[in-house]
Amino acid sequence: MKKLQILLAVGALWLSGNRTQAQALEKVELSEAWKEKIEKLAPEKTTFPSKKKHKILVFSLFTGFNHWVVPHTSAMIDILGTKSGAFEVVQSDDIRMFEKNTLKKFDAVVLNNNCSINPRRDLFYDKLIENKTMTEAEATAKSNELQQNLLNYVRKGGGLLTLHGGVTMLNKSEDFSEMVGGSFDYHPTQQPLNVKLADPTHPLVKAFDGEGFSHIDEAYMFNMAYKNLNFHPLMYLKTSEIKGLKGENPEDKKYIAWIKRYGKGRVMYASPSHNAQSFENPKLLRFFLDGMQYVVGDVACDETPLGTAAQMP
């Protein structure tokens, strides 16, 4: 049914003459040709100097909504790391990577659209309970252990880059929400979005030459820790330009990308993008590579949070 709805929506857009939006909604095959295209567009080298080659884990397991862009995102991160020569990229969908002795082998973790299942919204639990020999109590206890391993890893200096639906991995956990900067609430239907820069002079958005960018995407809305604004914003959407928001939205801006400190660790969240077509923007590729450098500690920049209500851990 979901696939049929997408096909009907794409067809309607083509008939209406809005071919750009229709093309952005079409699923693109992860092919060698697509990867070659991204490799050509990717930066030749990093923006910031690095003292060593960093090892990062790209975690791409999901138990809930299947974002078709998951494999493209994995490939994109791998291409950025390999072409720049700055990163050794390890890909996995195994929750055992969150054992503390395994986590410490990495300089940073990338959460790639790790959507969990309603109503619990706990990806670790979702996967553990598949083991029929494990009780609900045992699955809950092990999930809590793995979550705590991740929290401790970042708090002690590990990096965390969370992309698009990765924010929902432990969506009802207040601790995870505080670490990431917010939890997923909802999103209106995909639509053209004008992404604006919170501070065009900030080193992590210099790739956009001060102008932001436009693309087709989901306008993610956030709750829980987001209300404290305990992060330094990088990108936002003007609320008045978003169609389909629920209820009253007094905020003029909805932030969709930010950085923050969590203990000794560095965290970055970026909502773009739901569609692989967006990765064909070389400026966005540079932004992701710069973000990878930020979370491993290569970038000294302003991290001052907007809000002051929440206390740093």
Instruction: Note whether residue 199 is domain-resident.
Output: yes
Q: Are residues 57 and 175 in the same domain?
A: yes
Least Cα distance to 113 among 59, 186, 36 occurs for 59
The residues facing 88 across adjacent strands are: 55
Please tell me whether residues 17 and 124 are part of one structural domain: no
Q: Which two tokens stand for residue 39?
A: 């490799």
91 & 199 share domain: yes
Q: What is the per-residue pLDDT across 234-244, written as a single tens digit (0 to 9) for each?
A: 999 999 999 99
Instruction: From 68, 149, 160, select the one nearest 115 (Cα to Cα).
Output: 68
In a domain, 309, yes or no: no
For the stretch 32-38, contacts whose Cβ atoms lie closer than 8 Å and that sit 24 or more positions apart, written own/partner, are 34/72, 34/75, 34/276, 35/75, 35/79, 37/280, 38/75, 38/76, 38/79, 38/279, 38/280, 38/285
State the CATH number of the domain containing residue 47.
Answer: 3.40.50.880
Q: Is 238 inside any structural domain?
A: yes
CA gap 59, 113 in Å, rounded? 9
Residues 171-194 have a mean pLDDT of 97
Strand pairing report for 87-92 and 54-59: parallel
- Which band of pLDDT confidence, cut at 50, 70 and 90, is reported for residue 310? very low
Which of the pair, 141 or 2, is modelled with greater confidence? 141
Give the contacts of 63 (CB within 8 A, at least 6 positions apart). Answer: 115, 116, 117, 123, 126, 127
pTM score > 0.85 for this model? yes
269 and 226 part of one domain? yes
pLDDT in tens, 118-171: 889 999 999 999 999 999 999 999 999 999 999 999 999 999 999 999 999 999
The answer to whether 295 and 204 have CB atoms below 8 angstroms apart is no
Question: 58 forms bridges with which residues in the sheet?
Answer: 91, 110
Residues 6+ positions from 95 with CB-CB distance below 8 Å: 61, 123, 124, 127, 128, 146
Q: Mean pLDDT for the chain?
A: 92
Residue 125's closest CA among 185, 162, 176, 57?
A: 176
Instruction: Name the pairing type of β-strands 159-163 and 108-112.
Output: parallel
* Neighbour tally for 223: CB within 10 Å: 13
Residue 4 has pLDDT above 80, yes or no: no
Residue 117 and residue 163 in one domain: yes
- Interval 68-111: pLDDT, tens: 999 999 999 999 999 999 999 999 999 999 999 999 999 999 99
236 and 104, same structural domain? Answer: yes
Do both 21 and 133 map to the same domain? no
232 part of a folded domain:
yes
pLDDT the model gives residue 20: 59
Residues 56 and 85 occupy one common structural domain: yes
What is the per-residue pLDDT for 118? 81
Do 13 and 52 lie in a common domain? no
Q: Single out the residue of 256, 247, 112, 145 nearest to residue 194, CA to CA.
A: 256
Q: What angle do CA 19, 22, 23 make, to 5 degrees?
A: 85
Domain around 276 = 31-295
Computed from CA positions of residues 143, 147, 150, 156, in that sequence, does the dihedral angle turn out positive or negative? negative
State what percent of residues in the chain have pLDDT above 70: 90
Distance CA(285)–CA(291), nearest Å, equals 10
The whole-number pLDDT of residue 74 equals 98
The answer to whether position 312 is within a domain reads no
* 118 and 255 both lie in a single domain: yes
Q: For the residues 267-280, what does the mean pLDDT come to?
A: 97
* Number of domain units in the chain: 2
Residue holding tokens 């990062």? 56
Contacts of 169 (CB under 8 A, 6+ apart): 111, 114, 115, 116, 123, 176
127 with 274, same domain: the answer is: yes
Residue 214: per-residue pLDDT? 97
Q: What is the rounded (10 degree) CA torsion for 137, 140, 141, 146?
A: 160
Q: Are residues 97 and 178 in the same domain?
A: yes
How many CB atoms neighbour CB 136 within 10 A?
10
Strand partners, 265: 262
Q: Is residue 313 part of a domain?
A: no
- Residue range 259-285: mean pLDDT, rounded: 97
